[in-house]
Copies of this chain bind each other. A is one copy, B any other.
Amino acid sequence: MSTTDEQFLADFANMSSFGATAGGGVDRQAGTAADHATRSWFSQWLAQHGFTETVDGAGNQFGTLELVPGAAYVLVGSHLDSQPLAGRYDGAYGVLAAAHAGTRVASEFRSGKVDPAYNLAVVNWFNEEGSRFAPSMMGSGVFTGKLALRDALATADPAGTTVAEALAAGHRSPDAGAPVLAQVARYAEIHIEQGRELEESGTHVGIVDRTWAASKYRVSVDGAQSHTGATRMEDRRDALYGAALVIAAARELTAEFEPGLLHTSVSELFVLPNSPVTIARQVLMNLDLRSPDESVLILAMERLGKRILDAQADSCTDIHLTLTHNWGLLSYQPGGVALGRASADGLGFTSKQVMTVAGHDSTNLKDVVPTVMLFVPSVEGISHNEAEFTRDEDALRGVELLTDVTRRLVRGDVIEG
C-alpha cells in the first residue's frame, strides 16, 4: 500500500472517532457537539495541508487552494454530518476523499507540468442528512439558491433549537471570503452507493447518471381522544389505528410492482397525546415513495389514495396528505458521466452507470453547475446503520478515481450539458 493510501486510511480512522458509537458507527447529527468536533478536526486538517478555511452563513465549510489567481473553483466535497446511530462512510468518506484528492492534484499542478484552468476548493456541506433539521441537503440548498438562508437558519429541531443557535454553538462565525455559487465552475462528489448494484455486479465504481423519482408527503391522521379501556370500540376514532393502516398499505403496495420498481416508507411518527391510557387524537408522520419509473409513482399514488380512503373509513379518522417534495427522474449532465467513465477507464477500473435512490448534495449542485457524481460499493447496501461498510480497497480506488476526475476538471476538460 502506498504512503498516501495509508495516510488516507489513518485520517479516516481518526475522523471516525468523533461521535463514535459502541456499535462501530458514528452519531453526529448536524450542529451537535459531535458534528462540531468533527468540523474542528477537519479545520485543523485543512490548515495542516495548506488550505485556507472559510465557513459561509449556512455553515458550509470550505478549504480553498489558489492555483490560478482570480479563476473560478472546481469544488469537490460531501458532508460530515450523520444520521443518529449511523455508519462512518456516508458523507464523511466523500469529504476526506475530496481533501486528499485536492492535496494530490494541487501538488501536481504546482510542480508545473500541466497548467491549471481553475482554482480548487473542498467542501463539507452543512446538514445533508436532515434528520435533526429538515429539509435534508440544507447547506447545499442554500448555496445553490434553492432555499433561503433566513429560512434555513430559523429551522428548529424537535427540542426547539434553531439552526442559527446550533451553528453558533460551534463558536465559528461566517467568513466574508467564503466561496459563493458564482465562483464555482465545476462540482464533483464521491459517495458510498447505499445500494447493492456495484457489489452484486462486481463493478469497481459507479458513475451516477440519474436520480430516482420521489414523492414525499406529510400525513396527518386526526381522530378523537378517548379512554383506552372504557370507550366502546365502535365509538373510537383512533388516530394511531388509522396511521397503522396507512403504514401497512404503503408497504404492501410495493408487492404489486416488480422488485426495485417502488420503494415506500414511513419512518417518522409523532403521536398525540402519546399516553398509555388515552386513545390518540392525532398522528403526524412522513410518507416517502420512490421509483426509477415516473409512471409507477403516479400509479402507486392512485392506488394508495384509494387505500387511504378505506383506512379513513375503517378508523373513523380524517387523513390528509400534503406533498412536501416531488421530483422526477433527474439526469446528471452526460458530459460529467462521460468524464467520469473516461477517468475510470484510464485507471483500469470497471465502471457502470447507476441511478441514485438517495439524495446527495450533488443533486442540488448538478442543477446549476456541471457535475460529476461517483459511487464506490457498499457491502450489502447497508445504509443509515452502524454496520454500513465499504472495503478499504474500494474506498482507496474511489480516492484514486476522484483524484483523477479532479485533475481533469482543474485542467479544464470540457463537460457538455
- Report which A residues bind B (CB closer than 8 A): 83-86, 129-131, 134, 136, 193-196, 212, 214, 216, 224-235, 238, 240-241, 243-245, 247-248, 251, 254-255, 259-260, 262-271, 273-281, 286, 288, 290, 356-359, 380-386
Closest residue of chain B to A380 (Cβ to Cβ) is: B235
A265 lies within 8 A of B244 (CB): no
Q: Decide if A280 touches B254 in the complex (CB within 8 Å).
A: no
Bound complex: CA of A269 vs CA of B284, how far in Å? 12
Does A267 lie within 8 Å of B288, measured CB to CB?
no
Question: Chain B: which residue is nearest A225 at the CB level?
Answer: B385
Per a CB cutoff under 8 Å, which of B240, B273, B281, B382 touches A266? B240
Q: Known: A383-B226, A384-B277. Contact between A232 and B271, CB under 8 A? A: no
Question: Given contacts A267-B279, A268-B276, could you give 10 more A-B pairs where the C-beta distance is less than 8 Å?
Answer: A131-B276, A227-B357, A229-B263, A229-B359, A232-B381, A233-B259, A240-B267, A241-B266, A244-B245, A270-B274
Could you tell me if B194 and A230 are in contact, using CB atoms closer than 8 angstroms? yes
In the bound complex, CA of A95 to CA of B266 (Å):
44
Q: Nearest Cβ distance between residue A366 and chain B, in whole angstroms? A: 17
The interface residues of chain B lying within 8 Å CB-to-CB of A230 are: 193-195, 263, 356-358, 381, 383
- A278–B286 Cα distance when bound, in Å, is 11
Complex CA gap A306/B216 in Å reads: 34
Most chain-B CB neighbours within 10 Å: which of A134, A231, A359? A231
In the complex, chain B residues whose CB is within 8 Å of the CB of A269: 240, 269, 271, 274
Shortest C-beta distance, A243 to chain B (Å), equals: 7
Closest to A283 in B: B269
A277 touches B85 (CB 8 A): no
Known interface pairs A268-B275, A382-B226; A85-B281 also in contact (CB < 8 Å): yes
Determine whether the beta carbon of A238 is less than 8 Å from that of B265. yes
**Residue of B245, B259, B358, B386 touching A232 (CB-CB under 8 A):** B259
CA distance A131 to B276 in the complex (A): 6
Q: What B residues does A381 contact at CB under 8 A? A: 230-232, 235
Q: Please report the C-alpha to C-alpha distance between residue A243 and residue B264 in the assembled complex, in whole angstroms.
A: 16
In the assembled complex, which residues on chain B have CB atoms less than 8 Å from the CB atom of A240? 247, 266-267, 269
| A248:B241 contact, CB within 8 angstroms | yes
With a CB–CB cut-off of 8 A, which chain B residues contact A267? Answer: 228, 238, 240, 271, 274-280
Identify which of B85, B262, B271, B384 contacts A268 (C-beta below 8 A): B271
Whether B233 contacts A278 by the Cβ 8 Å rule is no
Q: Are B279 and A384 in contact (CB under 8 A)?
A: yes
Q: Is the CB of A136 within 8 A of B277?
A: yes
Q: Which of B196, B212, B265, B280 contacts A279 (CB 8 A)?
A: B265
- Looking at A254, A267, A288, the one whose CB has the most chain B CB atoms below 10 A away is A267
Measured CB to CB, the closest approach of chain B to A104, in angstroms, equals 30
Output the residue of A233, A271, A288 with the most chain B CB within 10 A: A233
User: Assuming A131-B273, A131-B276, A245-B248, is B136 touching A288 (CB within 8 A)?
Assistant: no
CB pair B276 A134 closer than 8 Å: yes
Residue picked from A269, A276, A278, most chain B C-beta under 10 Å: A276
